[in-house]
């Protein structure tokens, strides 16, 4: 924490949930397989409001009546019926009331919706009227000099935040130790001061991939930073409705998954641990990851005016790539409108991707195993549909709602 922040905040490294991973994983719960059928689709290749550009998220009200589509680079939020009728269209780039600078999250609420951008949270009525605006915490609050990224609002005008660690620092290129854990803080104002408590530690080992030419100084050459494509660091879901954080620990080995939900005071209010069938690292998946990263590295080095050869780039990628075998049991964690958690895995059933849905707060029920098409990116779900994005062969983006159907593994 920098000196000015130290005068207005305190960091208490207590109440940090640390759960033992000793002993074998719990047995795999009973699972019930579901498939999906295409039912709703919103999109248009010929122009108009439904001609979407780079959609980053799709959220749906629990009853499925309103579908929210977020396009951050247009600073646009549009709201639709499931059948594709446009209810609201807000394209508001700017810094004024109700405007956005790179919005990155939209969340339906009981009486409207909220949008989070790089500076604040803005709450709207259903018709788009601005209800209130909550700015991010003061910029002088930091963790060891690193800025804090707000995730959700909590009671009493507080926030859950996570430090943003620079790539070269995470890679230990600045002479300091690398960060293997990153705290989740609860910060809130108390009079003219801010209080900052640690409520959890996130395992960030194997999260970042960082490359630079051997023996170089980062000030004078190119750097390449991205996420490890096969990472097994902790995943998080910050719930805007409860202010809680759900953490998925996925480096327990042997297909074990550990889920815990932590409240703003640091209490673990739900914990479940179970196992899935381990998935061995396919040779083709590893080769595809190496090829993709090699291409990115070639482009990055060429753009800096210091190009590297394909052979050199491949060696650098192979040295930096984290390639666990078996693969992590979870590759994505999402909290859905139903309150359930959805976990994407590396499993495949024929040409379909395997997700699991699990009820929060329930330690006894089985899992729902949901098979989704490879080209479909799930973003939200109701009790009857899963919503997400698909692109056609021409690269046109569509917002799609697929009906959940109890059944076999074939579409």
Task: Decide if 103 contacts 77 (C-beta within 8 A).
Answer: yes
pTM for the structure as a whole: 0.90
Domain ranges, ordered by start, for the chain: 3-281+324-406
pLDDT computed for residue 7 by the predictor: 34
Q: What is the pLDDT of residues 377-409, one digit of tens each?
A: 999 999 999 999 999 999 999 999 999 999 854
Count of CB atoms situated within 10 Å of the CB of 237: 20
Q: How far is CA 105 from the centre of its chain?
A: 11
Task: Decide if 157 contacts 264 (C-beta within 8 A).
Answer: no
DSSP helix/strand/coil, 276: coil
Two tokens, residue 256 = 């074990």
Residue with tokens 């919503």: 387
pLDDT computed for residue 49 by the predictor: 94
pLDDT computed for residue 90 by the predictor: 94
292 sits in which H/E element: helix 283-303
DSSP summary character for residue 229: T
- 44: pLDDT strictly greater than 80: yes
d(CA 410, CA 390): 19
- 19: pLDDT strictly greater than 60: no
Task: Decide if 239 contacts 245 (C-beta within 8 A).
Answer: yes
What is the Cα gyration radius of the chain?
22
Share of the chain above pLDDT 70, in %: 91
Share of the chain above pLDDT 90, in %: 71
Q: What is the DSSP string of 135-195?
A: EPPPTT-EETTEEEEEEEEETTTEEEEEE---HHHHTTTTSSPP-SEEEEEEEEEETTEEE
d(CA 58, CA 11): 35
Q: What is the mean pLDDT of residues 86-101?
A: 91
Residue with tokens 């005068």: 7
pLDDT computed for residue 27 by the predictor: 60
CATH number for region 3-281+324-406:
2.120.10.30
For the four alpha carbons of 290, 206, 28 and 272, in that order, the dihedral sign comes to negative
Q: What is the mean pLDDT of residues 8-17?
A: 37
d(CA 376, CA 385): 13
* Confidence band for 219, pLDDT divided at 50, 70 and 90: low
4 sits in which H/E element: helix 3-6
d(CA 394, CA 248): 36
pLDDT computed for residue 120 by the predictor: 94
- 15: pLDDT strictly greater than 80: no
pLDDT computed for residue 6 by the predictor: 36
Q: How far is CA 356 from the centre of its chain?
A: 16
pLDDT computed for residue 167 by the predictor: 85
Q: What is the mean pLDDT of residues 115-128?
A: 95
377 sits in which H/E element: strand 376-381
Q: What is the DSSP string of 233-248?
A: SPEEEE-TTT--EEEE
- 141: pLDDT strictly greater than 70: yes
DSSP helix/strand/coil, 37: strand
pLDDT computed for residue 276 by the predictor: 84
Task: Decide if 312 contacts 302 (C-beta within 8 A).
Answer: no
pLDDT computed for residue 172 by the predictor: 84
d(CA 348, CA 337): 25
DSSP summary character for residue 220: G
DSSP helix/strand/coil, 249: strand
Q: What is the pLDDT of residues 268-310, one digit of tens each?
A: 999 999 988 889 999 999 999 999 999 999 999 999 888 999 9
């Amino acid at each position: 924490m920098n000196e000015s922040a130290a005068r207005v905040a305190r960091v208490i490294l207590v109440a940090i949930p640390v759960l033992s991973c000793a002993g074998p994983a719990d047995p795999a719960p009973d699972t019930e397989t579901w498939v999906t059928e295409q039912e709703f689709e919103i999109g248009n290749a010929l122009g108009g409001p439904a001609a979407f550009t780079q959609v980053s998220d799709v959220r749906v009200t629990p009853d499925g009546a309103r579908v929210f589509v977020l396009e951050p680079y247009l600073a646009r939020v549009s709201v639709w019926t499931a059948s594709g009728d446009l209810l609201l269209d807000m394209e508001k780039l700017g810094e004024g009331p109700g405007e956005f600078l790179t919005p990155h999250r939209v969340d339906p609420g009981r009486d409207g919706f909220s949008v989070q951008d790089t500076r604040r949270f803005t709450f709207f009525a259903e018709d788009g009227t601005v209800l209130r605006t909550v700015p991010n915490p003061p910029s002088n609050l930091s963790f060891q000099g690193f800025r804090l990224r707000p995730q959700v609002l909590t009671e009493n005008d507080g926030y859950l935040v996570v430090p943003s660690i620079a790539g070269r620092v995470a890679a230990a290129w600045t002479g300091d130790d690398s960060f293997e854990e990153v705290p989740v803080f609860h910060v809130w104002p108390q009079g003219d001061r801010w209080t900052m408590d640690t409520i959890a530690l996130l395992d960030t080992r194997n999260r970042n991939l960082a490359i630079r030419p051997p023996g170089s100084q980062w000030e004078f050459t190119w750097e390449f930073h991205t996420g490890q494509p096969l990472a097994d660091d902790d995943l998080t879901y910050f719930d805007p409705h409860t202010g809680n954080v759900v953490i998925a620990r996925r480096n327990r080995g042997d297909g074990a998954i550990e889920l815990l939900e932590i409240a703003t005071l640091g209490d673990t209010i739900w914990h479940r641990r179970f196992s899935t069938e381990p998935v061995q690292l396919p040779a083709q998946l590893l080769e595809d990851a190496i090829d993709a990263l090699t291409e990115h590295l070639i482009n990055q080095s060429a753009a800096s005016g210091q190009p590297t050869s394909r052979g050199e780039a491949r060696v650098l990628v192979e040295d930096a790539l984290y390639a666990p075998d078996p693969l992590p049991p979870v590759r994505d964690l999402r909290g859905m409108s139903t309150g359930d958690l959805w976990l994407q895995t590396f499993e495949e059933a024929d040409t379909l991707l395997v997700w699991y849905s699990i009820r929060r707060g329930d330690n006894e029920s089985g899992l729902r195993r949901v098979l989704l098409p490879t080209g479909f990116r799930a973003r939200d779900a109701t009790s009857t549909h899963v919503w997400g994005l698909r692109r056609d062969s021409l690269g046109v983006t569509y917002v799609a709602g697929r009906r959940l159907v109890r059944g076999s593994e074939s579409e």
